[in-house]
Amino acid sequence: MVPLKSLFTTAALAALLTVGGCATGPAEPPSLYLRLGGRDAIAAVVDDAIGNISADTRINHRFGNAGIAHLKSTLVDLLCARSGGPCTYVGQDMATAHEGMNIRDDEFEALIQDLGQALDKFRVPAREKAEVLALLGRMKNAIIGH
């Protein structure tokens, strides 16, 4: 297994080469997906976040019936696709997936904190961390209160 720090370094190098490799005009900045280090890096962060969520007594009861392997896979695909990666998210839309759960604001914020801790553990740079958390933040209205 490639160390996650190495994945981030490789992604940063690839981004620099992409930006500097063409003299015909301004290069398009690398996607969040590339800046995060790709699918393997996203999967490692999600795996750690699921561990945080499982230990978080504020919200772990919400995931008792969610198959952990399925949850991990779905969340990786969602973050991969929404960050500009090649993945396809085939899960339900957020409102449908959370229908009848009546998730509260504080529970949503607890999940964001747990994911933030995982991003910090892997030393994801502040800009990328903020972008990942903003991706989830844009889904908040479709998740809470349904």
Number of domains, the chain = 1
Residue range(s) defining the domain that contains residue 110: 4-143
Per-residue pLDDT, 79 = 98
CATH number of the domain residue 120 falls in:
1.10.490.10
Report the amino acid identity of residue 110.
Answer: A
Question: What's the whole-number average pLDDT of the chain?
Answer: 87
Per-residue pLDDT, 59 = 95
- Give alpha helix (H) positions in 56-143: 68-82, 94-97, 105-121, 126-137, 140-143
Distance of CA 2 to the CA centre of its chain: 19
Q: Kindly report, residue by residue over 55-104, the tens digit of the pLDDT.
A: 999 999 998 887 888 899 999 999 999 999 999 999 999 999 999 999 99
Per-residue pLDDT, 20 = 47
142 within 8 A of 95, measured Cβ to Cβ: yes
| Strand, coil or helix: 103 | strand
15 within 8 A of 27, measured Cβ to Cβ: no
Per-residue pLDDT, 24 = 63
Per-residue pLDDT, 4 = 52
11 within 8 A of 38, measured Cβ to Cβ: yes
Percent of the chain with pLDDT over 70: 83
Q: What angle do CA 33, 71, 95 make, to 5 degrees?
A: 85
In this structure, how many other beta carbons lie within 10 angstroms of the beta carbon of residue 110?
19
pLDDT grade, residue 8 (50/70/90)? low
130 within 8 A of 35, measured Cβ to Cβ: no
* pTM for the predicted model, two decimal places: 0.81
Per-residue pLDDT, 66 = 79
